[in-house]
Structure 1
Amino acid sequence: MDFELPEEHRAFRDMVRRWVDNECPKDWARKLEADEHNYPHALWEKFSEAGFHGIGIDEEFGGQGGDVVMQMLLARELARSLGGLSWIWGITSFAGTKSIGLYGTPEQKAKYLPRIAAGELKAAISFTEPAGGTDVLGSLTTTADKVDGGWVINGEKIWSSSAHVADYLLVLARTDRNVEKKHQGLTLFWVPAKSDGVKITNLPKLGMRSMGSSSVVYDNVFVADENVLAEPNRAWYTLLPTLNNERIMVGAFCLGVIDGVLEDALAYMMQRKAFGKFIGQFQILQHYVADIATMQRTTELLLHSCADKQARGENVGTDANMLKLFASENANKAADMGIQILGGMGYSAETDMQRYWRDSRLWRIGPITNEMVRNGIAESLGLPRSF
């Protein structure tokens, strides 16, 4: 088995790494992330100029092309410096590129994909409900009722990241109340964010501050039939392949965080002195970085295996769950070790360790909690469902 990337992917990775170092250095990322009241439009524009919004979009729609492996290489390299701010690219990539690109109609693809590729359209995901969290299906109360020419949506969503600057919201709503199972009777809508009846309120949070996360209330919001994605009442079957992609993307972001943590820890250990010597000579700190490096390598192998399988069209449901679980816990543990290595400076907002820790802490919760991921893995091994 060949664990090396092909030349095309290596060249792309190296190009993105140089771009990140030149265009998105860590000191700038710290300033962007700290300003929770202002969305970093300048970062979005940098992604647009670099053509990153077009990764994964076919050239016929103005994109750069590229498979899932290339998308994950981009996610990893962005997160090494940007941490959770990488989601600014990832959200629209998932909500727009993946959703419309995979199950949009020819008309929807022609209308929206060129705008996404050019960086002219921002999207946000609107799935989670206030009483639900990971229990998306069991808690889903948002409804959409058929009317002449479209649908009327009523309900509330929460933790919809970047909704306050989005042009469109990818909304999951119940369209059939008379179903035997919770995953039936659901429909996906591509809702213009400025529609009458949409109210967006920002929510303060621990990390990824400037990106913004919001509650979104839908009060008799009309959505035209042309803004229904895929087949009505069968949204869950449509979503499943893209949910695997989202978990692989989280794994890539987490690996990028581990890269950044290790990079910063080594640099600090080779210039900081205590007790008359560089702290890089202290055995316990050497053990910490050895552990972080091992986390980095094992997460990398699992990510590449998972992304390669999905690129070849294989079923990666359990693998994607394992990756999300392993990568998020490694990233958060590595960032915690990084804070310990830097001591007081690790806790300081003047360095990046605290930012890596705050951002990676979310990935143990979303887009699905690691407890639920473990349930899914156990069930895939033949054990009875525990929830």
Structure 2
Amino acid sequence: MGCMSGTSLDGVDAALVETDGDVIAGFGPTVFHPYSDAQRQTLRGALGKWQDAPEVPAAAEIVEAVHLQAITSLLQNDPRPVLVGFHGQTFAHDPQGKGTHQAGDGQTLAQSLGLVVVWDFRSADVKLGGEGAPLAPFFHHACARFIEADAPMVFLNLGGVGNVTWVDPSRPTPEAPDACLAFDTGPANAPLDDLMQERLSRSRDEGGALALSGTPDEAVVDRFLSHRYFHRMPPKSLDRNDFPDLPAMVKDLSDADALRTLTACAAAAVARGMEHCPTPPTRVLVTGGGRHNAALMDEIQTRLSVPVEDIDSTGLNGDMLEAQAFAYLAVRVARGLTTSAPTTTGVAAAVGGGNIATPKKD
């Protein structure tokens, strides 16, 4: 079982995957457990905070409690899992500085569940000079083989932050030369959700409806693309708060125009990222909550020259792919296999991350 709580702070995804950490044999049931408004507010208060910040303990307790609820709910439907991949909640990410901070204790979860829990997936990569993100690329390579793709393609995840994985499914393993290239593209849902919360006290622009009625300010998009991040070569990664000036750039625009402009910024970041692909992809499969935003999908397709598809069209589950990825990675950790490589996180050599927590007997 894999669990994921993303930077959008909507809730916890949990999903079952049958795999040996190499080949995906099949997918099982999934569940989504939302955070309450009060819980989300506490989690927001911990964003950008490190382990010693006073806001973190209460937020970490929420992360553990809601994960426990989601996992328990899924176990009622299917009690077979022998291993749990627990990503935790990212509150801060500064791989070139303080490191990376995912709240939630795997040992606490293992003790409550009576199951082996693999957690803290990112720290080992960061300690060895990697970005610690994104970590789904090895799973994406397996997914490409699962759907029997026969040409290079891109997985585009639109969460709070956007990230891409270019994969060549003809390569035998994800760490093989020229098998994968992965990196964060730029902000995605996070600035849209933040603006909706700040201006309209709503958690998101449902379906992109308000953004669809707006007009993007391309001058703002051009200023956004001048950010130093877009001049860095991949692999590279972002924290949710790495573009703090973005809200001020749209403060004088109407709600609809501001949302459409932020949407255009996210799409333009994706288009800029595509320039780094080793060879042009034949298709772009979009996963994550952003694919439900019609304005964002429209902006991305407008700015790309290849087909942009909702990943659900392939039979994969775009809402659960991140959770499924950490189920897959948990098995790789348990088997001593690698979970990241120079072309996915910039780490010096292929490395296996993650800690294994085993329930302690009384």
The structure whose RCO (Cα within 8 Å, separation 6+) is larger is 2
| Fold equivalence (TM over 0.5) | no
- The structure richer in strand per residue is 2
Report which of the two has the higher share of helix.
Answer: 1
